[in-house]
Amino acid sequence: MQAQKSPGSRHIRNDFAPDVVQQAVEWILALQDAQQPQKIRADIANWCAASPEHLQAWQQVEQLSGRFGLLANPEHAQLAQDTLTATSPSRRTVLKGFSAILIASSVAYVSRESGLIRQWQSDIHTATGEQRKLTLNNGTTVVLNSNTAIQLDDSHSTLSLLEGEIHVSSKANGDEPISLLSPNGHIQLSPGSRLALRQFKDNCRLAVYEGEARLRPAQASNSCLISAGQATRFTAHEWSPLTAVRQDEAAWIDGMIVVRDMPLAEFIAELQRYRPGILRLDPSLAAYPVSGTYPISQTDQVLEALSDALPIRQRRVTRYWITLLPV
């Protein structure tokens, strides 16, 4: 379907309802991977005809896709959704994200051929489903989980988590302890400590497995000492009461998800972190408990195992768009 562009369609509107934009992005993904595109185009036409907002959202998502080629990669679909629904300050941030992707795309060939990518080692990131292990100059080991971005200072004594999740092991006899920064606060590791730090939308979760770490929220005057076996969530202003942490929570560094009676909705949200595209769950299935050990790199097999163990079935529009439904 070739939607007609309105005179102002070159300007990005950013006040669409989130569910409308989500559907428009899903149509793009479905169209790009469809074995029967004519049926998808007919469905899109019907959807656009149902509402002027549907048509305008489709036009702008299609425009972004055609102009930048971004939505051909499901990992970038969320950027399109955020661009069309964000308020002005965060919209500028999201548009900077588009620019970063465009720059990365344009220099990808040159980087592969000339080794320029090595110049970017102070700005390290992983894609969906990718993990990466680093050893810093001071001997600290850092593992980046899926969709994670970090920055390092020149001395490697301070690491900033921009998004995602990291697992950090500080050297037992290190002369200079490493510091971790996030948008929510500052963490000082003691020598020989091992911890995981995960950035959520408006807070962080810190889990200490060995040693100890001192946490100071960004806008707080006091700090908290977190010892081995303890975890907390914290914002820029405060931390939550300490809770116990399981050692197998860090199984992701070995490529596994280990869960015990986790509600299916939460499990699917975890699995989605490692799988590009759209993975939806019918709300009626949300409370089913899931236990076991599941490989991060084999999400298709994990979904098959869930279908065998629980009364659910998969509806696949494309390989990037799956909905789990009751049998």
pLDDT in tens, the chain (327 residues): 443 333 333 444 556 676 677 677 777 767 766 677 788 888 888 888 888 888 888 887 776 655 444 444 544 555 555 555 554 445 445 444 443 443 343 333 333 333 233 234 346 888 888 999 999 888 899 999 998 889 888 888 899 998 899 999 998 776 677 899 998 999 999 999 999 999 998 899 999 999 999 999 999 999 999 999 999 999 999 999 999 999 899 999 999 999 999 999 999 999 999 988 778 899 999 999 999 999 999 999 999 999 999 999 999 877 778 899 999
- pTM for the structure as a whole: 0.66
Amino acid at 186: H
CA separation for the pair 51, 32 (Å, rounded): 23
**Sheet with 312-318, side-by-side order of all strands:** 278-281, 321-326, 312-318
Amino acid at 298: Q
CA separation for the pair 149, 13 (Å, rounded): 28
CA separation for the pair 149, 134 (Å, rounded): 13
Residue 320 pLDDT: 75
Residue 34 pLDDT: 64
Q: Find out whether 101 and 70 touch, Cβ atoms under 8 Å.
A: yes
Q: Which 3-state string (H, E, C) describes 136-177?
A: CCCCCEEEECCCCEEEECCCCCEEEEEEEEEEEECCCCCCCC
Residue 60 pLDDT: 74
Residue 105 pLDDT: 38
Q: Find out whether 58 and 44 touch, Cβ atoms under 8 Å.
A: yes
Q: Which residues contact 272 (CB under 8 A, 6 or more apart)?
A: 279
CA separation for the pair 26, 77 (Å, rounded): 8
| Nearest of 208, 209, 151, 141 to residue 181 by alpha carbon | 151
For 199, the 3-state DSSP assignment is strand
- Number of Cβ atoms within 10 Å of the Cβ of 176: 15
Q: Find out whether 318 and 280 touch, Cβ atoms under 8 Å.
A: no
First-to-last C-alpha distance (Å) of the chain = 33
The two structure tokens encoding residue 8: 């102002």
CA separation for the pair 194, 150 (Å, rounded): 18
CA separation for the pair 19, 14 (Å, rounded): 13
CA atoms within 13 A on the CB side of 149: 8
Amino acid at 71: L
Task: Write down all domains in the chain, each with its CATH number in brackets.
Answer: 18-107 (no CATH), 123-249 (2.60.120.1440), 255-326 (3.55.50.30)
CA separation for the pair 189, 179 (Å, rounded): 6
